[in-house]
Structure 1
Amino acid sequence: MFEHLLSDPAKAFREEVRDLVKWVPRQMILDMDQDRIQFPRAFLEEAGRRNLMGCRYPKQWGGRDMDWVTTAMAMEEVGTLGYIFACVFGVGAELVCDAIIRHGTDDQKERYVKPLLRGELFAAECLTEPRGGSDFFGTTTTAVEDGDHFLLNGQKRFIVGAQGADFFLVYAKTASDRKPHESLTCFIVDRDTGVQTEYLYGLMGCRGGGAGRIVFRDVRVPRANVVGTVNGAYAVFNTMMIPERLGTAAMTIGAARPALDVATRYSSRRKAFGATINTFQGVSFQVAEAAMLLDAARAMVYATCTAVDRGEPPGTTRRLISETKKFVTESCQQVAHNAMQVMGGIGYTNVFPVERIVRDLRLASIWTGTNEVMSMIIANEWYRTHAGQASDTGARNWEMDADQAEAVDEKIYE
């Protein structure tokens, strides 16, 4: 952990989060991985009771007025329990809360945010549909006005928390005659209004988080539950991408940390050829690479959190967040791979938790926007920013720092 980047209040908060991590029974972790627990309600209730969720939101609505650096630290610590713990912790307390805090009404904050952060209600965010996930604005879920209500029809799938959520943050098309970015509306949908959910078994990892399919058939949603404005979900989606992708990066570090710790302990004790295997470069160099990747990942997360806290321009933060999500998730998957490689065959069994960590972390580069989508955003923002810098007459033109730079006849672009 980068102590020099944490304020004293952040360090004190970290100890509170670590106490929660210690509180979680070993059997809960095992039961979730075996699908004996389909949704960790007790964990979220305890986190809410301790006032640990949504720490960066105003105290007025149940938060603790902290910053993004502190939030990232907390997400990392929760992630050490297992990737799915951080997933369910963040979906409600970071993603859904963020949308309502930033775009919702005071009445919505009172009815949904406060009890959610107290651990009395649970929420899920509904983005992915059976027809696809990355094409968010191509959603086929619809909401048609019906007096003071909307009639919601459609399906969402792979929704973390679907099994246990009391309400859902749902995006639906409300204007078929408008451009995709101007045709969606964000709604708060209560489960008891006729929402149908089905728990999905057979996930490779990240089990026990209540992931499921959600079906809406003429579900009546009051106009008072529109988050933001009708046809204005683009603004909600844009701000939610910050906690969704930055939070994912932070928690991925936490989920990978135990793999390195277990591999380090194992290689310090396991003997072969008359010596502990950490004395062999083939082993120690893999541990060194894993430690380096975790440090680089954490540095990137904290630097990006600082940029968000300081209000850097949206284009800059969008690129940094996408870079961070891609780099950190891929780096942490490599950390888990190295840990298993160091441990050999025993790492491939359930005698150690490394095999579960490898399975769980495979989700990291897929959800909250695939890493291919992250690359697309990075490229778009980079070229856009570069074009703006090219018009800055005060910048040095490095292209001219070559001996034959004036050979214009050799610079052929078409």
Structure 2
Amino acid sequence: MFDYLLSPEALALRDEVREFVKAVPRQLLIDMDNDKVQFPKEFLQEAGRRNLMGCRYPRAWGGRGLDWVTTAMVMEEVGVLGYIMACTFGVGAELVCDAIILHGTDAQKEKYVKPLLKGELFAAECLTEPRGGSDFFGTNTTAEDKGDHFLISGQKRFIVGGEGADYFLVYARTDEEAKPHKSLTCFIVDRGPGVTVEYLYGLMGCRGGGAARIVFDRVRVPKENIVGHLNGAFAVFNTMMIPERLGTAAMTIGAARPALEVATAYTTKRRAFGKTINRYQGVSFQVAEAAMLLDASRSMIYATCRAVDEAVEPARIRRMVSESKKFVTEACQTVAEKSMQVMGGIGYTTIYPVEKIVRDLRLASIWTGTNEVMSLIIAGEWYDEQAAARKDGRTRDCETDAEEAFAADEKIL
């Protein structure tokens, strides 16, 4: 942890989060991985009682008025419990809350944000559909205008927290004729008549988070439950990509950290050929690389969090968030795999938690936008930035520094 980047208030909060993490029963984690617990309500209720969720939101709505750097620290520490624990912690308190805080009305914040941050209600975001994931504008869920309310029909899948949620943040099509970015609306949909948990997914890892397919069958939703504006879901989606992807990256660090800690302790005790195996470079160099990747991941996360806190230009934030999500999730998967490798066969067993960490972290580069989508965003923003820099003459033209830079007929013009 980079203590020197945290304020005294953030350091005190870190101690609170660590005490909470230490208090979570190991049996809960085991039962979730064995699908005996479908959604950890008690975990979220206790987090709410301790006022640990949504720390960057205003105190008036149940937060602590802190910043994104502090939020990243909290997500890392919660991630130590396992990736799915951080997922369920973050989906409501860092995703759904974010949309309502930034785009919702005070009445919505009072009704939905306050009780969620207290652990009294649970929420889930409904974005992915059976025929579309990364294609946000391809949604087939519709909302039919009935005057004072809408009737929402459609399906959403892979909804983390879907089994336990009391309400859902749902994107639906409200204008079939409009251009894609003006055709969708974001709604708060309460669990009730017409809302059905159709299916719970069997997962390779990250079990126990209630990942479900949700069916909406002509669900009556009052117009006051629109988040933002009619046909204005794109603005909500744009801002939510920050907590969705930056939060995912931050918590991945915490979920990978125990694998390296366990491997470090194991390799200082396991002996082979007369000495502990950490004395062999084949082992210690892999541990060193894993430690380097964790620190590099934190550096990227904290730099990006500071950029968001300072509200730098949106295009730069979009690139940095996408880079963080891609780099950190892939780096942390490498950390977990190297930790298993240096432990040998025992790391592949359920004697140690490393095999579970490897399984869980495989999700990190898939959800909240695949890492291939992150590459598309990074490339697009990078080329745009470079074109603008060349046009404005803000940087040295290093192309002319080659000895034969002006050779005739050799350059692409």
TM-score with structure 2 setting the length? 0.99
What is aligned with 1:325? 325
**1:60 matched residue in structure 2:** 60
Partner SS, residue 218 of structure 2: strand
SS at match of 2:392: coil
Q: Does residue 253 of structure 1 match 2:287?
A: no
Give the AA of the match of 1:216. F
Indicate conservation of the 8 Å contact 1:152/1:219, yes or no.
yes
Task: Report if aligned partners of 1:199, 1:210 keep a CA contact under 8 Å in 2.
Answer: no
Q: CA deviation at 1:409?
A: 1.5
Q: Which amino acid aligns with 2:315?
A: G
Deviation by residue 1:375-396 (Cα, 9 ceiling, x = unmatched): 0000000011111111113432
Residues 158 and 201 in structure 2, CA contact (< 8 A), matched pair in contact too: no
Confirm whether residue 9 of structure 1 aligns to residue 32 of structure 2.
no
Q: Tell whether the 8 Å contact from 2:47 to 2:119 is kept in structure 1 after alignment.
A: yes
More displaced stretch, 172-181 vs 292-301: 172-181
Aligned equivalents of 2:199 and 2:11: distance in 1?
38
- TM superposition shift of 1:193: 3.6
TM-score (normalizing by structure 1): 0.99
Task: Give the aligned partner of residue 240 of structure 1.
Answer: 240
Is contact 2:159–2:211 with CA below 8 Å preserved after alignment?
yes
Q: Distance in 1 between matches of 2:45 and 2:120?
A: 7
Residues 162 and 199 of structure 1 are in contact (CA less than 8 Å); yes or no, is this contact kept in structure 2?
no
Indicate conservation of the 8 Å contact 1:263/1:343, yes or no.
Answer: yes
Written as runs of structure 1 = structure 2, the 5 A alignment for 1:170-319 is 170-319=170-319
Aligned partner of residue 192 in structure 2, secondary structure: helix
After superposing the two structures, state which structure 1 stretch, 221-230 or 387-396, moved more. Answer: 387-396
Secondary structure at the residue paired with 1:269? coil
Which residues in structure 2 correspond to 1:27-42 (within 5 Å)?
A: 27-42=27-42
C-alpha distance in structure 2 between counterparts of 1:378 and 1:288, whole Å: 28
How many angstroms apart in 1 are the aligned matches of 2:208 and 2:334? Answer: 24
**Match of residue 83 from structure 1:** 83
Aligned partners of 2:44 and 2:89 also within 8 Å: yes
Q: What is the percentage of aligned positions where both structures have the same residue?
A: 73
For structure 1, which segment, 384-393 or 87-96, has the greater mean C-alpha deviation from structure 2 after superposition? 384-393
Q: Distance in 2 between matches of 1:41 and 1:74?
A: 19
- Deviation at 1:410? 1.0
Q: Which amino acid in structure 1 is aligned with residue 147 of structure 2? A: G
Tell me what 2:349 maps to. Answer: 349
| Conserved? CA contact 1:57–1:65, under 8 Å | yes
Distance in 2 (CA, whole Å) between partners of 1:249 and 1:363 is: 11
Question: Displacement of 1:313 after TM fit?
Answer: 0.4
Q: Which residue in the other structure is 1:103 paired with?
A: 103
Residues 1:92 and 1:393: Cα distance change in structure 2 (over 3 Å): same
Going from structure 1 to structure 2, the CA distance change for 1:387 and 1:376 (only over 3 Å counts) comes to: same
Distance 2:130 2:154 in 1: 10
Report the secondary structure of 1:208's partner residue.
coil
**Is the partner of 2:213 in helix, strand or coil?**
strand
* Runs of 4+ off more than 2 Å: none
Taking the aligned partners of 1:357 and 1:132, their CA distance within structure 2 comes to: 28
**Residue identity matched to 2:197:** T
Offset of residue 411 of structure 1: 0.9
CA-atom RMSD in angstroms: 0.8
CA–CA separation in structure 2 for the residues paired with 1:147 and 1:157: 29
Number of positions where the alignment pairs a residue of Structure 1 with one of Structure 2:
413
CA distance in 1, matches of 2:28, 2:408: 68
Tell me if 1:120 matches 2:120: yes
Q: For each residue in 1:282-303, what CA deviation from the matched residue of structure 2 results, as whole angstroms up to 9, or x when unmatched?
A: 1111101100000000110000
SS at match of 1:129: coil
- 1:91-170 to 2 correspondences below 5 Å: 91-170=91-170
Q: Which runs of 5+ in 1 are unaligned?
A: none
Would you say the 8 A contact 2:124–2:159 is kept in 1?
yes
The answer to whether the 8 Å contact 2:199/2:214 transfers is: no
Please report how far the alpha carbon of residue 132 of structure 1 lies from its aligned counterpart in structure 2 after TM superposition: 2.3
